[in-house]
Amino acid sequence: MRLALYQPDIPQNTGTLLRLGACLDVELDIIEPCGFVFSEKALKRAGMDYLGLVKYRQHDSWADFLEYRANHPDEYGRLVLLTTHASEPYYDFEFAPNDIILMGRESAGVPQSVHETVDARLLIPMNEKARSINVAVSAVMVVGEALRQLKAFPGQK
């Protein structure tokens, strides 16, 4: 199970998700360019001392990420995009151990070309008057469901 952040804008969200990865043994992929300097103080503050525990890889671009994924098929499986432009609820999806849960930019999601590349698009059903849930909170919900389905929380048998 992996979590990929497509050109994240907000260092606090990125730090929070790196901390999540450290706590739940979920590896992350950070797809540049970020909307902040990756070593920014706020990122370190949100990630606290957990940043040394998480396994993450930075990719210079979407193309670099796709190339790396193609060259590591045992680690990188289906691309599962979390988006408000989907019809399948995340809790109805059957996750696989090497799925990559892809999160879009806080400000703009992902471009259509990325939508066309993914293997699945999932939605968090919500109040129709709301635009979206915070990207970090959304990732927590979906990663939690994926780990629950796979019985893959740390220490779980």
Residue 13 predicted with pLDDT over 70: yes
Query: What is the rounded average pLDDT of the residues 34-43?
Result: 73
CA distance 54 to 24: 9
Share of the chain above pLDDT 90, in %: 80
Domains and CATH numbers, the chain: 2-150 (3.40.1280.10)
Query: What is the rounded average pLDDT of the residues 79-99?
Result: 97
Residue 44 predicted with pLDDT over 70: no
pLDDT confidence band for 17 (50 / 70 / 90): very high
Share of the chain above pLDDT 70, in %: 94
Closest CA to 105 of 20, 11, 40: 11
pLDDT at 150: 97
Range in 20-29, 40-49, 145-154 with the lowest mean pLDDT = 40-49
Query: What is the rounded average pLDDT of the residues 7-29?
Result: 94
Task: Tell how many helices (H) and how many strands (E) occur in the chain.
Answer: 5, 7
Provide the residue type at 7 as one letter: Q
pLDDT confidence band for 118 (50 / 70 / 90): very high
In contact, 57 and 78? CB cutoff 8 Å: no
Closest CA to 76 of 45, 118, 105, 34: 118
Range in 32-36, 42-46, 65-69, 116-120 with the lowest mean pLDDT = 42-46
Query: What is the rounded average pLDDT of the residues 92-111?
Result: 96
Question: DSSP letter at 97?
Answer: T
What pTM, to 2 d.p., does this model score? Answer: 0.93
Residue 51 predicted with pLDDT over 70: yes
Long-range contacts of 140-147 (CB under 8 A, 24+ apart): 140/20, 141/90, 142/82, 142/90, 142/101, 143/1, 143/3, 143/20, 143/24, 143/26, 143/101, 145/90, 145/91, 145/95, 146/1, 146/95, 146/99, 146/101, 147/1, 147/24, 147/26
Dihedral sign, CA of 110, 113, 117, 123? Answer: positive
